[in-house]
Amino acid sequence: MKLITRNTDYALRALCYISKQKTVVAVDELVAKLGVPRSFMRKILQQLKKKRILDSFKGQGGGFRLKALPEKINIVEIMRIFQGQVSLNGCFLKKNICPNRGKCILGKKIRSIEEDVLQQLKDITIASLL
């Protein structure tokens, strides 16, 4: 199981870089500094803009800057944008709803672990990664 996907990783790196610059950052600068393929970077930045994490500016001197404060952006929020609902508790059978779902001891333990992990991830913000 991979907790953080490539797109989430690229997004976090881009957000950290943009946050450090405190100005509008061009896509080409991000691509050069982070070593991320341009096509991936553009898609990631557009999704972050759509979710109101970034502002974008067109034309000469255009690019992206943070719309939200770095202290207000947490890893879980970014993971949900690129990975959907964060869940560690998928039943291994997956096809049918388990009749023991409410009674499953393993499921209860995993849900408890999941809650702890999500809370710890929510505490990690872009500001804390700088």
Chunked mean pLDDT (size 10), the chain, 130 residues: 84 95 91 93 95 91 90 93 77 57 74 87 92
Instruction: Copy the structure tokens of residue 79.
Output: 């993971």
pLDDT at residue 107, rounded to an integer: 74
* Separation in Å, CA 57 to CA 81, 92, 110, 113: 21, 45, 44, 42
Report domain 6-129's class: mainly alpha
Q: Which amino acid is located at 80 in the chain?
A: R
CA atoms within 13 A on the CB side of 41: 21
Sign, CA torsion 70/71/72/78: positive
Contacts of 28 (CB under 8 A, 6+ apart): 38
pLDDT at residue 16, rounded to an integer: 95
> Does the pTM exceed 0.75?
yes
Domain positions in the chain are 6-129
Tell me the C-alpha distance between 108 and 11, whole Å: 32
